[in-house]
Structure 1
Amino acid sequence: MKVTLLLVGKTTGRLFSEGIDDYVRRVNHYVPFGVKVIPELKNAKSLSEQQQKEKEGELILKNIEDRSYVVLLDERGKELRSVEFASWLGNKQQTQRHVVFVVGGPYGFSPAVYGRADDRISLSRMTLSHQMVRLMFVEQLYRACTIMRGEPYHHE
């Protein structure tokens, strides 16, 4: 199974970038994993929230292959403990060839993106910055990989 993290806008901040890069390298030890960045919209300030979501949604959908299993990282998604996420990921390894996790823009996802999604996962009930979500997700993906292999990174 191949895993992709699809992001709207580049990661800002050296500490976030370095942390994400570190976990991307770690995850690649277990599964083929990459991060794909959709550039931020030009002149976004001149667009309404809805217009931004629609335009970002079009770009997100253009970057997803038809057969990919799409998971939105969304505040209204299901919350999983790390062990549960590892089990969920293990099940997807058995049934999917490509899983794409998507982090949307500042206003969330368009109805079209919600319609394309196969699943939604929330990383927290708290509101997190889009930069923080990226780092937290790649760490949790790495943690899930180590749990599935029975390695000592995760402690109950």
Structure 2
Amino acid sequence: MKHQIIVAGKPALAYAKTGTAEYLKRLKRYGSYDLKHIKDGSSEDVSQRLLEGSEGTLRIVMDERGESLNTAQLTKKINAWEMRGVKRASYLIGASDGHTEELRQQADLVWALSPLTLQHELALVVLLEQLYRIATIQRGEPYHR
């Protein structure tokens, strides 16, 4: 399955730039993981751009009001999607004021990385780390332990 991460705005903080680059580098050996930055703006504008950018893919919306999944549960979901023949998934990180209800309704999964509201740069690094962890689990490698 190809993974596309779409995020509003580009990381400006040093830790986010470094963490993003590190996990994207690590993920290269596990498949297709593409990061796409879209213009930041209002919740309505960003949600519309996220919908357009994820057209035709399985949509996973990152939102603190979403379903709380641990790594094992998310790994099972991704494995099930792959077994169903899902070819492309998009992980959507929105504007600072959150996603619109329309975007959440059109999602295949609304996933909470944490019950806390995370700054979007931190959410991006956490998401990439979890995707890397899942990739190692799927390959039977020891990183996840």
* TM bucket normalised to smaller: over 0.9
> Which residue of the other structure, out of 71, 83, 89, is the alignment partner of 2:72?
83
Counterpart for residue 145 of structure 1? 135
Map 1:17-96 → 2, pairs under 5 A: 17-41=17-41, 52-65=42-55, 67-95=56-84, 96=86
Deviation by residue 1:102-152 (Cα, 9 ceiling, x = unmatched): 001011111221232111111111222111100000000000111111111
Where do 4+ consecutive residues of structure 1 move more than 4 Å? none
Larger Rg: 1
Equivalent pairs counted in the alignment come to 144
AA in 1 matched with 2:70: R
TM-score after normalising by structure 1: 0.87
What is the alpha-carbon distance in structure 1 between the residues aligned to residue 104 and residue 125 of structure 2?
Answer: 23
Counterpart for residue 130 of structure 1? 120
User: Is 1:87–1:148's contact at 8 Å kept on the other side of the alignment?
Assistant: no
User: Is 1:71–1:117's contact at 8 Å kept on the other side of the alignment?
Assistant: yes
Deviation by residue 1:43-72 (Cα, 9 ceiling, x = unmatched): xxxxxxxxx21121222222122x210010
AA in 2 matched with 1:131: E
Counterpart for residue 102 of structure 2? 112
> Which residue of the other structure, out of 102, 107, 111, is the alignment partner of 1:121?
111
| Structure 1 runs not aligned, ≥5 long | 42-51
What is the alpha-carbon distance in structure 1 between the residues aligned to residue 141 and residue 69 of structure 2?
Answer: 20
C-alpha RMSD of the superposition: 1.2
User: Is 2:39–2:46's contact at 8 Å kept on the other side of the alignment?
Assistant: no
| Structure 2 runs not aligned, ≥5 long | none
What is the alpha-carbon distance in structure 2 between the residues aligned to residue 93 and residue 24 of structure 1?
Answer: 21
AA in 2 matched with 1:92: W
Map 1:7-18 → 2, pairs under 5 A: 7-18=7-18
TM-score after normalising by structure 2: 0.93
3-state SS, counterpart of residue 117 of structure 1? coil
Deviation by residue 1:67-111 (Cα, 9 ceiling, x = unmatched): 210010111111111122222221222221100000010111112
Counterpart for residue 46 of structure 1? none
